[in-house]
Structures are given as C-alpha cells and as structure tokens.
C-alpha cells in the first residue's frame, strides 16, 4: 500500500474513532511545523496500525486506554475514551480496563484515568443532547 493509500485509510479510521470534527480541526490547524506529525499519526498510527485486521477496533481501544493510563497522557486518554465508546466499548469495560491498569501501572494513574473518563463521558452526553 502506498503512503497516500495508508494516509487515506488512516484518515477514514481516525475520523470514525475520534470523530470527524476533531480530526478535521486537528488537520486544519496544522502548520508547517506540526503538519508532518499530523501526517505521520494519520498514516502510521491509524493507517498502518489501526488499519490492520488482526484486532477489532474495540480491542485496540481497550489496549490504548490501558497504555495511555500507563503513560500518563490525559489529553490523549480523554480522546480515546470517546473513541472507545464509539467502538462499542462499554463504560463497565472501561472501568475494568482502568482497574487492571491501576494494579499494574499504579493507583494514581488509575485514579487520574477514572477522572478523565468521567469528563469524557460528560462531554459525550452533552454532545448527544445537542
């Protein structure tokens, strides 16, 4: 698959998981400095990574939630909580992912993840009402 095909495939998946509005804003807001990062993320993470057939999107979402908890990346975690919900992961499953991550990554990481997820749930609920 060419770089362009991976980018297009990644763009489609990225929009489906994170929401078209969020992705379009990220790409539109890119400038000469950070555009290469947007292109890399879209092509490599979303096209080459998420575009593989070996795992379902919901499984990839749960893995991402655990890894982002471990890495203490709250901004990315919030986005991926919303993506996990879009991919069919339930709030109960998110709870279990965070509890498991808290055991292996530390309680403070788990506590932060629950706090961030609650913010994401609230934002998603507000979006549904609009």
Every domain of the chain with CATH number 1.20.1290.10 lies at 55-130
- Closest by CA to 2, choosing from 45, 35, 36, 47, is 47
Pick among 1.10.3720.10, 3.60.20.10, 1.20.1290.10, 3.30.470.10: CATH of 55-130: 1.20.1290.10
Q: State both tokens at 87.
A: 């991919």
Q: pLDDT tens across 87-113, in order?
A: 999 999 999 999 999 999 999 999 999
What is the DSSP-derived secondary structure letter of residue 55?
S
Q: How many CB atoms lie within 10 A of CB 52?
A: 9
Query: Please, which pLDDT band fits residue 129 given cuts at 50, 70 and 90?
Result: confident
What is the average pLDDT value for the chain, to the nearest integer?
A: 96
Give the integer Cα–Cα distance in Å for 112 and 102. Answer: 10
This prediction's pTM = 0.91
């Amino acid at each position: 698959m060419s770089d362009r095909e991976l980018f297009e495939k990644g763009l489609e998946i990225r929009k489906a998981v994170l929401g078209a509005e969020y992705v379009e804003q990220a790409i539109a807001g890119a400038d000469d400095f950070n555009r290469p990062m947007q292109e890399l993320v879209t092509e490599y993470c979303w096209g080459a990574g998420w575009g593989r057939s070996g795992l379902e999107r919901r499984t990839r979402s749960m893995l991402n939630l655990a890894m982002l908890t471990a890495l203490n990346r709250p901004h990315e975690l919030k986005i991926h909580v919303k993506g996990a919900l879009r991919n069919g992961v339930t709030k109960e499953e998110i709870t279990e992912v965070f509890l498991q991550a808290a055991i292996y990554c530390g309680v403070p990481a788990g506590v932060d993840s629950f706090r961030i997820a609650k913010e994401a749930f609230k934002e998603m609920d507000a979006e549904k009402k609009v």
